[in-house]
Structure 1
C-alpha cells in the first residue's frame, strides 16, 4: 500500500453496475449473483418461479426477473429502467445497478454509473464477430459503455465474457475477445481491467468456480468483487460543503441560532477552521459542528452536519463553504464533457438551467467543440447534439459556479442541464477545464 492510501479509509460497501448490449445477460447475471449468494428471500424466489419464463427453457427459473420489475420489461424481455439491488456476503456489502443495454437508454446507464466504484462490462460471445485474421470486432455498445465508464472515472472495470457455454467453453475464443478489448481499453486509458469467462445462466464462475473451464485460474466474479479495494479518497481532498438549508431557531429562544445544513462532499472540517464562502468570497470561521446526536470536534466527507460560524454572514442555499487555503474555482465560462439525454436536440439559441451541487442558475451552451466517436475514439467537429451524443462543449452561466475539475472532485465537478420549459434533465456533464 502506497503512502497515499495509508491516509485513506477502505469502504466495506461496493457500488457496481452491469453494462453491455441488449440481451447480453446483465439481469440474469445479477439474478445469479443474488440467487447463488443467498441474497434473495423465499417469497421473492416464489414470485419469480410463478412468473412467465421468457428467456429460459422448461422449468428453469428466469433469474433476470429478479431485477426486471417493470411489466414492459417482462413482456419484452429487455431492461428499460435502472434497477438497484442490495445484497451482502460475509466479506462485503454491495449495491448493484442493473442498467439497460439499448442505445436509446444510454442516459439510464450514465445515471447508474455516476456513483459506481466498479463496472461489469458484459460481452456475449455469440454476438462478437471473430475475424479470419484472428481479430475480433467488438459491439458498438461495448465501446460506448466503456467510454462512459472512462469519462465518469469508474475505478475498476471487469470484463465478463458471458455465455461461454455457447462456444463449448473454448479458451481460444475467450483469449481473442479479451485481447481485442484490452487493445480498445488501452486506447481509452482504462488501467484496471480484469477479464472473467463465465455463464450467468449456468452459473459458471459467478459464485462457484467452473469445472468446465479448468483452464481459467483466476477468481470467480463474487471473489473478485469482494477483493476490490475502494477507498474514500474524498476524505483527502479539499473541503467542500454545498449549503442545502439555513436553519434558524423556532423564534421563542433568546439566542440567535443560525446553522448551515448540508452534506460534506469532500475533505474534512474541524472547529476553528478558516473557510471561505463562495462565490461571495467572505471569510468564515467554524464555531460548532452540530449533528442529531450532538456536537462534534470534526466531521469528514459523507457526513451530513450543521455548521455554525463565528461571523454573521449572508449565506443561502446554493453557496459553497470551502477550504480557505484551497478554494474552488469560480467559473462563468465552463468547458465540459456532456452526455445528451433528451429526445429533443440541443438548441444553441435557448437557455437551460444548470444544476450544480445545490446551486441552480441559467446557462447557455455557446459552442459544441467536438463530438466523440465512441467507435474510433476520435473527436469530430459538430454543430449540434442529439440523444446519447457525447461531446465537449462550452457553456456560459448567469451566476458563477464554485466548481472543481471532475477529475479532482466528482461532486463539485459534475452538473446536469434542465429544460426550462419541461423541467426534464437534458444532459449530464463533467467539468474538464477552467477558463
Structure 2
C-alpha cells in the first residue's frame, strides 16, 4: 500500500495532514488554519443553473440575533433621544440647534463618503450601518451624559481651568471612547456574521464615530450661535476647526478600536472579542487625549503630529483594502478551479481595474446594473468562503454558499444577454 504522506523512517505511517492549497493564505489577514480548510464545492451539472431570475441575488437571510439587535437598538436610540434632544436644545436654543444641525451635515457627509469608499468592496448591510450610526449619534451620547457626572465629581476644583482640562483630557477620552466602542462590542457579539475582519471593524467604527461627531458638532456649532456676541465669526472659526481641520478625529480614535476588534474577529471566540474591546480602547483613548491636550501650540501639534497620524491611517486603510482584494481573488480562484468561473472572470471580478473595465463594457451594452450585480454576487461568495474557512458557523455559511453558487450562472447570463 502506498501513501501520499512520507513516513518518519520508523516504518510507522504518520497521521495525514490536512491539505491546504499553497496559495490559500495570500495576505496577512484572513489566514486559514489547516484544520479548517476544505476545497471549494465542484460545479455538478445537476445543480440548478437559474434559481433566481435576472440580476437578482438570492434572498439574504438574517443571521440569528440580528432582528432582536435591530429592535433593541431602535428602542435604545429612541430612549436616548429623550435625553439627548432636550440637552441639545437647552444648550443651543432652537435657532442654534437648527443652524448647528445643518452645519454638522457637512463634516458628516465627508466621513460617510469615506465609509462608502472603504466599504465599497464588500458592503455591510445597510441596517447594521444604520444601527452603528444611531448608536453613535444617540446611544453613545446619552451614555456619555449619564457617566460624565461621575468624573465631574472627581475632577479638581481648584480652578475652572483645572476642572475644564481634566474633563477634556481625562473624562472625554475615557467615557466617549468607551460608549462609542461599546457599539462595536454589541455588533461583534450579536452580528458576527457581518463583522469578520479589520475592514469591517474600521467601517463600523467610522460609522459610529460619524454619528457621535454629528451630534457633538450640533452642540458646539449651536452653542456658538446661542452664546456668542459675534455668532457668525465664532461659528466660522469653530466650523473650520471641527468641520474642516478635524472631521475625521473621532473616526480615527474609534477606528483603532474597530481595527483591533476586526483582527480578533478573524479568529472567532467571544473571549477574544471582549479582550480586543478593552485592548482597542487604549490607543483610542490615548489618541483622543493627545488631541484634546493640544493647547497654545495647537497648529504646531496639528501639522507635526495629527496630520501625519491621519496620513498613516489613510495608508493603512489602503493596505487593508489591497489585502482584502488579494484575499477575494484567491477565494474566487479556488471556485474557478472547481468550475464556477474562468480565470479571466476572476481577474475581472476580483480586481479594481478589472471591475471598472467590466462595468464600462457592460454599460456600453445596457447591462451596467447586471454587471454590478454579478460582481457583488461573486464578492459576497468569496467572503462567504472565507467565513467557512475561518471555522465560524460553518453550517450557516455553507448554506449561504450554496445559494450564491446557484445564483452565479443566472447573474452571468443576465450580463451576456
Q: Same fold (TM over 0.5)?
A: no
Please state which structure has a larger fraction of its residues in helix. Answer: 2
Q: Write 1 or 2 for the structure with the bigger share of strand.
A: 1
Ranked by relative contact order (alpha carbons within 8 Å, sequence separation 6 or more), the top structure is 2
TM-score by structure 2 length? 0.29
TM-score (norm 1): 0.29
